[in-house]
Amino acid sequence: DYRRIRAVLNDISIPGYKQDIQRLMRELLRIWQAFMRGQLLVVAIAGFLTYLLMQILGVRFPIGLGVLGGIAKFIPIVGPVTAGLIAALVGLFQPSNWFGLMPLAYAALIVVCVIILDQSIDIFVVPRIMGPTLNLHPALILVGLVIGASLAGIIGLLLSAPTIASFLLLGRYIYRKMSDLSPWDPPIDVLAERTPEDPILPRIWKAMKKRWNQGKNSQE
């Protein structure tokens, strides 16, 4: 875990590089913490959109299915598929539906809509959130998702974005050290952008809006 890794890195004693190793450790920790925050935001958005979809389709227990759909985003592919099948089973055993479809056709409609929603989130929402969060271009994240899935399956798909950001950090550090340049970007103090008098909810809304706009601008 992180504590053991930190202890090992602290024991590394390379003349002239101890501070750099500690700084690298902090930067890597920042990347993975930012990834977790972005992932939680994706989960919240996926849960809300799943709830809306269930309401539109008239599926019973939309709140529970929305929560399930959000949590399912923690497990790429398998999670959304499982959530979609559970929603389809709920629809299959409903006595009626808004569209007057046969139960099997209604269940198939639910599965198709859930798949479309999941793919839309992966293509449009995830890159726009993870891109600004990890300072990666959305297109690079999409490429990383494909490569990660082909190399390591579900785990590679889930961890592709922070892994790319980590390798870019290490590569940039090595390149700049070899070029006799400063290996570190100017520090970005996120806390300094906040004013003490701002309430917490407006700050969260501003941060979400800023990240969304940054992702949209980078795609354009």
pLDDT over 90 percentage in the chain = 31
Instruction: Decide: pTM greater than 0.85.
Output: no
| pLDDT tens column, 152-201 | 887 887 888 889 989 998 998 888 888 887 777 655 443 344 444 444 44
| CA separation for the pair 166, 143 (Å, rounded) | 16
pLDDT score of 70: 94
| pLDDT tens column, 10-68 | 666 666 677 788 888 888 888 888 889 889 999 999 999 999 999 999 999 999 999 99
pLDDT score of 192: 42
Written as one string, the DSSP assignment of 69-111 is: HHHHTTSTTHHHHHHHHHHHHHHHT-S--TT---HHHHHHHHH
